[in-house]
Copies of this chain bind each other. A is one copy, B any other.
Amino acid sequence: MMTDDQTRDLIERFWRAIAARDWETVTDMLDPEFVCEWPQSRERIRGRDHFVAVNRDYPGEWRIAVQRIIAEGARAASEVHVAIAGRVDVAVSFYEVRDGRIVREIDYWPESYPAPRWRAHLVEAMSDQEA
C-alpha cells in the first residue's frame, strides 16, 4: 500500500527526473508494464522504453514547474507547467502506482482558446501571470 505522502513524493521525483532528462531514473520509476495515454491525440505509449524515447526525442528544451500534486493512496493527479520553445505548455496528468512505481499515466495538454463573448458579462479576465 502506498500512502498519500509516498505517492506524492514519487510524482515529485518523477518530474524532477524528467526535468533533468535523467532517463535512467525515469525508467527505474516506471513499472515494466507501464502505459501512458494521451487521449487528445489518441496516442498510447506502451512500455517505459517507448515513453523514455518519446520524451528524449521531444523537440525543444524544457523547464518544468510542478504547480500541484494531489495524491490519494496509489493514485495521483498533477498540474505541471512546461516552458518549451518560447511557450508554456500545461500538462494535467493522472497516475496509478503499483509496488512503488508508476504503472499508468494519462496526460492532457490543454491549449489556449479565445474567451466566448456570450459569457463576457459573467467573467473577469485573468492576467498573463495568473493563467
Contacts and interface: CB of A to CB of B under 8 A. Distances in A.
B110 A109 contact: yes
Contacts of A86: none
Interface residues of A, number: 47
Nearest to A35: B124
Contacts of A71: 70, 72
25 contacts: A4-B4, A4-B72, A37-B126, A39-B90, A39-B126, A40-B112, A40-B131, A41-B113, A41-B114, A41-B115, A42-B125, A42-B131, A43-B115, A43-B124, A44-B126, A45-B124, A46-B124, A50-B122, A54-B119, A54-B123, A70-B76, A70-B94, A72-B72, A92-B108, A109-B110
